[in-house]
Amino acid sequence: MWLSSLFWLAHCNPNSALLQFHGLGGKVKETIKKAAQTVCHSTKSIALTGAGISVESGIPDFRSPGGLWERFNPIEYSTIGAFQANPEKVWRMLQEVSHLLARARPNPAHTGLGRLQELGLLHTIITQNVDSLHQEGGATRVIEYHGNTRTLSCLWCKQRYKADELGGQIPPECSCGKILKPDVVFFGEPIPTRALQESYELVSTCRVLLIAGTSGEVAPANTIPEMAKKAGATIIEVNVEPTVLTEYVTDIFLQGKASEMMTKLVSEVESILVKN
């Protein structure tokens, strides 16, 4: 699943009229307004989020300079084979991640998406993140495409535990004596079947896909935008920089920090609702 799947870009339409927000006064407002109107008029909107939406909550994305992958080679620390071979070693990396997640709090991008759900304008959030910040930010319907850290399982005897019943011991151990693995999807593991099926059903019938903070480089989550596009959805993308999705799939590009863009978007949505 983790193979880069850029092959699909060849099938996309590169001629879509891309509306871009580049920090230029009136044009910014127009682009935000267009995005807000699109969300307000949509009968079914889905969000797709990635590591970038949690950067402002204090969880750096792993591949940027200084990120986790600079110190922990993902092949050595993030494959299921690596965990099976040497779980103690992999827990050195997981311990750092756990500390980051423990301190993180939802930022206005998370709460903004929660607010859109509250307003009945966002059906479901599909997130690649494992940090539970969408739920903490008020979202009630979230598909965790890559699992979460709230539970841990034993690969050997299959027992499952809640993280908060394990007492903070690192590495955490199962009653059978083996080391537990957090229920996040490692490289080489399949996406949980239910998450995959539900996402497919929702995305293939959505009218708007709101993408925030994903590079579009991790498969198979990066096939979701094209799936939505093929279903006729309008694609709104929020990112600090253009991605592989921007030119070929995105219709409305909001360039900037997720928290700022989402705050502006939600505020515009609310003012449209008040006027109507």
Active-site residue numbers? 146
Least distance from C-beta 55 to ligand NAD, angstroms? 4
The answer to the question of residue 35 lying near ligand NAD (CB under 6 A) is no
Say how far residue 87 (Cα) sits from the centre of its chain. Answer: 26
Which residues face 94 on adjacent strands?
A: none
- Closer Cβ to ligand NAD, 135 or 243, answer by number: 243
**In the chain, alpha helices (H):** 25-41, 68-71, 74-77, 80-85, 87-103, 108-118, 133-136, 193-203, 224-230, 258-275
Cα torsion 97, 134, 110, 37 to 10°: value is 140
Least distance from C-beta 50 to ligand NAD, angstroms? 2
Q: Residue 85: CB partners within 8 Å, gap ≥ 6?
A: none
Q: Can you tell me which of 111, 135, 215, 255 binds ligand NAD, judged by CB under 6 A?
A: 215
- Over the range 185-205, which residues count as b (16 or more CB within 10 Å of their CB) and which as e? bbbebebbeebbebbeebbee
Least distance from C-beta 53 to ligand NAD, angstroms? 6
Q: Can you tell me which of 180, 213, 229, 255 binds ligand NAD, judged by CB under 6 A?
A: 213
Look up residue 88 and give its two tokens: 């103690």
- Over the range 85-98, which residues count as b (16 or more CB within 10 Å of their CB) and which as e? eebeebbebbeebb
Say how far residue 143 (Cα) sits from the centre of its chain. Answer: 9
Site string for ligand NAD, 53-72 (x = CB under 6 A): -xxx--x-xxx---------
Q: Can you tell me which of 123, 229, 257, 264 binds ligand NAD, judged by CB under 6 A?
A: 257
The answer to the question of residue 183 lying near ligand NAD (CB under 6 A) is no
- Closer Cβ to ligand NAD, 218 or 233, answer by number: 218
Total residues contacting ligand NAD by CB under 6 A comes to: 27
Instruction: With contacts defined by CB under 6 A, name the span among 25-33, 44-52, 112-120, 197-205 that binds ligand NAD.
Output: 44-52
Applying CB under 6 A, which residues contact ligand NAD?
A: 50-52, 54-56, 59, 61-63, 128-131, 146, 213-215, 217-218, 238-241, 243, 257-258
